Each structure stands twice: as C-alpha cells, then as structure tokens.
Amino acid sequence: MSHEATLHGHDSHGHDDHGHHEHHDTFLTKYVFSQDHKMIAKQFLITGMVWAVLGGLMSVLFRLQLGYPDASFPWLESILGKWAKGGQITPEAYYALVTTHGTVLVFFVLTAGLSGTFANFLIPLQVGARDMASPFMNMLSYWFFLAASVVMLSSMFVETGPFSGGWTAYPPLSALGDASPGSKTGMDLWIIAMALFVVSSLLGGLNYIATILNMRTKGMSMTRLPLTIWALFFTAVLGVLSFPVLLSGFILLIFDRNFGTSFYLSDIFVNGVGALSNEGGSAILYQHLFWFLGHPEVYIILLPAMGMVSEIMSINSRKPIFGYMAMLGSLFAIAVLAFLVWAHHMFVTGLNPFLGSIFVLLTLLIAVPSAIKVFNWLTTLWRGNIRFTPAMLFAIGFVSLFISGGLTGIWLGNAALDIHLHDTYFVIAHFHIVMGVASMFGMFAGVYHWFPKMYGRYLNNSLGYIHFWVTMAGAYLIFWPMHYEGLAGMPRRYFDFSIWESFKQFAELNRFISTVSMIVFAVQILFLINFFYSIFKGRKVTTQNPWEANTLEWTTPINPGHGNWPGEIPEVHRWAYDYGKDGKDFIPQDVPVGADESSSH
C-alpha cells in the first residue's frame, strides 16, 4: 500500500499543487472510501464532532433535570416521547442519557475524534511520509468506527431503551436484563458497538506505530520528532496494549449475559425473578479488566492533547519547548505508569488494603511527570514572544485546566481520602476538568491550529476568541462548585436529590450550573458554525507557512494532494524547535545546519 502511495507522490512531481494522479478520483474514492490519511482524519473529525454535539446535548438534557427537578417541559415530551412523560425526564431516560454521554464522550469523541483525527492527519505530515504504513487498514479503521457509531446510535431507539448502567458498565447490573431494562437489548447493542470500536482503534493504533517507526523521512531521527508525534506514539501504544483487555472483559460479559456462564455472577437474587443459578463468579474481576483499559484510556485521551499543546505553545511563544527530553521522558513515564494504577478506581471495592497501598504510591507517582510537564510549559512561556492565536489560547487554557484538575487527582489518588470522596461530585469535577474539558481544549487548539492545513482556509479569529473565553470561564463555573458538592458527600448519578436531607441544599447551585452548561453548549454551536462556514467561505491561506512553524507539514503546498509533497520528501536536518535561535525567528526542520550556527539545543 505504502509503495503505491509513494509512487503516486513521485509521479506527480512537477505538476501543480493538487498532485494529479493517473486515475481520476471520483466523489466516492475521494470523500467516502478515501485512503488519503488527510481525508480519513477529516472523516474522524466530523464524525467525532457529530458525536460531541449529541453527547453535549445529552448532558444539557440531564442537567435540565438536575437543575429543574420540579419543572416540566412539554417540548421534552415531543422529542423524547415516553422517556419524558408529561415533560419530565424519567429516571430510566436520565440514566440512559448519563451513560451514553459518558460512553460517547470518552470513546467516540475524545478517543476516536481526537486521536483518530490528529494521529491520521499529523503523523505522515510531520514525520515526512506520503501516507500511513497501510492506507487501506487506515480506511478500515474509520469504517469500523462508523459502524460502531451506527450501532451505538441504533441502541437509542430500541423499545427497552439504551444501556443505562453507567459508562463503566459494571456487572451484575449490566449483565442482568431483569435488574434494569436498559441492560436488555440496549446493552447488547452497546457491547457490539464497543467491540467494533476496539477493532477500529486497534487497526488505527497499529498503523500509527508502524508509520512512526518505519516511515520517517531522511534525517528524522526519533529525537527530532515533534512532541505531537511522540504523544501520539505513546497513545497508540497504550491503546494497542489495553483495548484488547477491555474486549476480553466484554466477551466474558457477553457469555454471562447470553450463554449462562458465571464469570462475573454469584449469589444473586433478583426482585421479581428469584435466585439465579450462577455461583462462583466475581463482579470485581470485570472491574479489574475494565480499569486495566480504563485508566490507560484516560491517558489515551490526554496525551494527544499534551503533545499538541506542547507544539502549539512552542510555536506561538517563538521559543523552543523547554526540556524536550524531559517532556519526552515524562510522556514515557506517564505511559508506563498508566498501566500500573488502574486499581485506584477500586479502592472501595473491598480490595486488599496492602494492594491498595501500592496503588496509592504508584498513582501519586504520576504527579511527578505531570508536574514536570506543567513547569516545562510555564518555562516555555517565560521570556517568550507570545502570539495569542485562538489555538494558543486553548493551549494556555489546557495548562490551566490540567493544573486545576491534576491537583485534585492528588486528593483522589490517596486511598484514605478516596474512601470519603469516591463517586461524589468531587470526582465528576476532577475528571471533567482534567480529562474532559482539558482534552477538549487540546482538540480545539489542534483544530484552530491545523485548520489552515486541512482546508486551505482560516477559521474566523473573532469567533475563536469568543469561543475560547466563554468556554474557559464556563468550564470553571460549571465544574469548580462541584468540588464543594463533593465535599458535602453528594453522590454521582443521582436523578433527584430532593429526598436527601444531606444533599438537597444544593438545589440553587445545581440550577446555576445547569444554566451555565446551556450557555457553554450554545457557544460550541458557534464554533460549529465557524467551522463549517470557514471550510467553504473562510479567509484563504495565502502563505505556505502561516504560523511560521518549523515542522514538515508546512513545507507542503497549501492544499496538499494525496502523497503530500509534489516533489521529493524534504530531508530533515534539525529538531522541530529552533525558534529564536541565533537571532533567527524560526528555522524549519528541512533547513541544513549553517556553518556558523551554534550547535546547542
């Protein structure tokens, strides 16, 4: 496959920007069954955006219930039918919304939408390759993702409702249709969708690893790779090693659900059904298998954002990223530790306390590489010459959120505090800030920064600034007060707090949070308008290198064709971060080292 792509690139040498191929691209081969990594990236991005809108809308709907538990909205019944009888969301519908919101945002938006988009788009362009190692597998990766999306979407429309047991899908609740209507057909579809998703991410991940290791251009040694590529590399490794474990957990769950096995089931008496025959299984086994993926998954979501933020921050500070090797080392440390901390999600499952203590130690250890990254980003800003592009703003926002959410990780990673805060709103605040919103910011930064490369046009700057400031303020207004709710012990996943003497005091605050969440959601619509409008009508890019950056993607034509470079692939002579060196504003990677150049970096 790669040979074909390489040949195409050579053939088109000397032709115009669009890289003519011998065969003509039809609409179908160019936009639908494309094997061009850039088009596949856009497919991932737009599918991810559709899911982000749906997932976001779901959160607005369940925030409506939390903020206005007594009000009824007749229009809800017109959209949701029996799930909102009389204009009030039912508990079933609430839990289905919460569950789907979690699943969709974690997997479909922040894994497929983020890694899928930027790994596909940036890896060949930044390592200097004409395409992925296997463009066909790459195409399959997208189509498996789309299949997963279709199945997940279809689960919204079954009679018994979509799965409603939380995105973590703990059995026995997820295994027993009699314990919850959502665990009937909805759960079967959920598992099928997730299995297809795992296949998609494995096909993608193997491809990313192969491309990074084997297809770097001449001179692009591993230590000259931009940090984006390193981050995407570790992300792919994490995914390839952990997703199969999740799949195995799901397969056992399928057996328990449909074939009468007892991997996760034991000693169960279901109301209205009676005692089940299953004995000897362990519900905790599933949690181990799930979190063995689940925790690396957090870093699968976070690392690409870190990589892009490092890159964007360095470019817009007009300074090298501070401590390239330390950044790389901390990425590596995080990737290794990601596999050794999963049980901190399980401190209160009755885990052996000694085992728990090991996981406390390893969990808090992650704070060290995280701290290194934060201090290095700060030092990158220090004495820079900062340009506030919308991408740069989102990168700075990412660091702020990563600090805020990361620090509460030190609270929750300590078992003696987790025993109090586990599954409260404190946890919601923590992971939404550090993983959800922060990674979303990384994604926005990436979209604003590489949009000109994707579509040959700019996004509207002013809309970008409005988008950033409202989202940034909104994110803090929504999630900061939730820490206090958590410190009052308020549990997650409650449909209604009015019967609780300990938690009903937050009614007013919940209304406030819900209102802000709607405003923030509306501003994301503004971003979507900006995005789709600018694809067709945005200001045209007129220079090859609009951000004056060093990496290879900016040596391609403004609208690169399949094969990326019309001529030879450029040779690389230096690392990606020679900004402000020897008095020069920037020196791209393909510029040979000058005779009088200082050697240090």
Partner 1 sequence: MSLYLSIAIIVLIFVVIFQIAKASEYVSILKGEEASRKQNNKINGFLMIVFLVLGFLGVYVCNEYLYGKTLLAQGAASVQGEKVDQMLWITLTITGIVFVVTQVLLFWFAYKYQENENRKAFFFAHSTKLELIWTAIPAITLTVLVIFGLRNWFFFTGEPPKGAMVVEVTGKQFGWIFRYPGHDNIFGKKYYKNIDPATNSVGIIWDDKYAQDDILTEQTMYVVKGQPVKLIIGSRDVVHDVGLSHFRLKMDAVPGIPTTMWFTPKYTTKEMREKTGNPNFAYEISCDQMCGNGHYSMKGIIEVVDQEEYDLWLAKQKPQYFTAFPEKDPTAAPVVTDSTATAKK
Q: How far is the CB of 139 from partner 1 (least distance, A)?
A: 35
Q: Give whichever of 10 and 504 is closer to partner 1, judged by the CB atom.
A: 504
The answer to the question of residue 411 lying near partner 1 (CB under 8 A) is yes
Q: Give whichever of 50 and 386 is closer to partner 1, judged by the CB atom.
A: 386
x-or-dash string of contact with partner 1, 290-329, rule CB under 8 A: ---------------------------xxxx-xxxxx---
What residues numbered 235-294 form the site for partner 1, per CB under 8 A?
A: 265-271, 275, 279-284
Among residues 125, 339, 316, which one has the least CA distance to residue 215? 125
Residue 299 sits at the vertex; the CA angle it makes with 578 and 313, to the nearest 5 degrees, is 25
Q: Give whichever of 206 and 365 is closer to partner 1, judged by the CB atom.
A: 365
The answer to the question of residue 371 lying near partner 1 (CB under 8 A) is yes
The answer to the question of residue 146 lying near partner 1 (CB under 8 A) is no
The answer to the question of residue 170 lying near partner 1 (CB under 8 A) is yes
Q: How far is the CB of 15 from partner 1 (least distance, A)?
A: 30
- The residue with tokens 């990496």 is 551
What one-letter code names the amino acid at 194? M
Residue 392 sits at the vertex; the CA angle it makes with 394 and 400, to the nearest 5 degrees, is 50
* Contacting residue, 240, 386, 507, 591, with partner 1 by CB under 8 A: 386
The answer to the question of residue 62 lying near partner 1 (CB under 8 A) is no
Among residues 572, 450, 398, which one has the least CA distance to residue 122? 450
Alpha helices in 413-553 (DSSP H): 415-421, 425-431, 438-455, 461-487, 507-537
Q: How far is the CB of 4 from partner 1 (least distance, A)?
A: 40
* Contacting residue, 150, 222, 336, 419, with partner 1 by CB under 8 A: 419
Q: What is the DSSP letter of 459?
A: P
Query: Applying CB under 8 A, which part among 226-234, 385-393, 433-441, 564-572 lies near partner 1?
Result: 385-393
What residues numbered 206-235 form the site for partner 1, per CB under 8 A?
A: none
Task: Give how far the C-alpha of residue 57 lies from the chain's centroid of Cα atoms, to the nearest Å.
Answer: 18
Q: How far is the CB of 499 from partner 1 (least distance, A)?
A: 6
What residues numbered 540-599 form the site for partner 1, per CB under 8 A?
A: 577, 579-583
The answer to the question of residue 414 lying near partner 1 (CB under 8 A) is yes
Among residues 135, 136, 251, 149, which one has the least CA distance to residue 196? 149
What residues numbered 441-470 form the site for partner 1, per CB under 8 A?
A: 460-463, 465-466, 469
Among residues 186, 237, 364, 473, which one has the least CA distance to residue 176? 186
Q: How far is the CB of 413 from partner 1 (least distance, A)?
A: 9
Q: Please tell me the distance from the alpha carbon of residue 582 to that of residue 574, in angstroms, as a whole number.
A: 14
Q: Give whichever of 10 and 511 is closer to partner 1, judged by the CB atom.
A: 511
What one-letter code names the amino acid at 595? A
The answer to the question of residue 407 lying near partner 1 (CB under 8 A) is yes
Q: How far is the CB of 38 from partner 1 (least distance, A)?
A: 25
The answer to the question of residue 85 lying near partner 1 (CB under 8 A) is no
Helix (H/G/I), strand (E/B), else coil: 104: helix
**32: CB partners within 8 A, 6+ apart:** none
Q: How far is the CB of 169 from partner 1 (least distance, A)?
A: 10
Q: Give whichever of 66 and 303 is closer to partner 1, judged by the CB atom.
A: 66
Q: Give whichever of 41 and 427 is closer to partner 1, judged by the CB atom.
A: 427
| Cβ neighbourhood burial of 572 (10 Å; 0-12, 13-18, 19+) | buried
Q: Give whichever of 51 and 497 is closer to partner 1, judged by the CB atom.
A: 497
Q: How far is the CB of 524 from partner 1 (least distance, A)?
A: 12
**599: CB partners within 8 A, 6+ apart:** none
Query: Applying CB under 8 A, which part among 148-156, 434-442, 443-451, 480-488 lies near partner 1?
Result: 480-488
Q: CB–CB of 324/379 below 8 Å?
A: no
The answer to the question of residue 474 lying near partner 1 (CB under 8 A) is no
The answer to the question of residue 165 lying near partner 1 (CB under 8 A) is yes
Q: How far is the CB of 85 from partner 1 (least distance, A)?
A: 14
* Contacting residue, 379, 515, 545, 559, with partner 1 by CB under 8 A: 379
Among residues 341, 357, 252, 332, which one has the least CA distance to residue 296? 341
- Rounded to 10 deg, the angle between the 135-154 and 37-67 helix axes is 20
What residues numbered 502-521 form the site for partner 1, per CB under 8 A?
A: 502-503, 505-506, 509
DSSP string, 185-212: HHHHHHHHHHHHHHHHHHHHHHHHHHHH
Q: What is the largest CA-CA distance in the chain?
A: 84
* Contacting residue, 231, 315, 341, 372, with partner 1 by CB under 8 A: 372
The answer to the question of residue 179 lying near partner 1 (CB under 8 A) is yes
The answer to the question of residue 423 lying near partner 1 (CB under 8 A) is yes
What residues numbered 334-353 form the site for partner 1, per CB under 8 A?
A: 348-350, 353
Helix (H/G/I), strand (E/B), else coil: 579: strand
Q: What is the DSSP letter of 33?
A: S
Among residues 410, 311, 322, which one has the least CA distance to residue 370? 410
Conformational region of residue 449, where left means phi above 0, alpha means psi within -120 to 50, and beta covers everything else? alpha
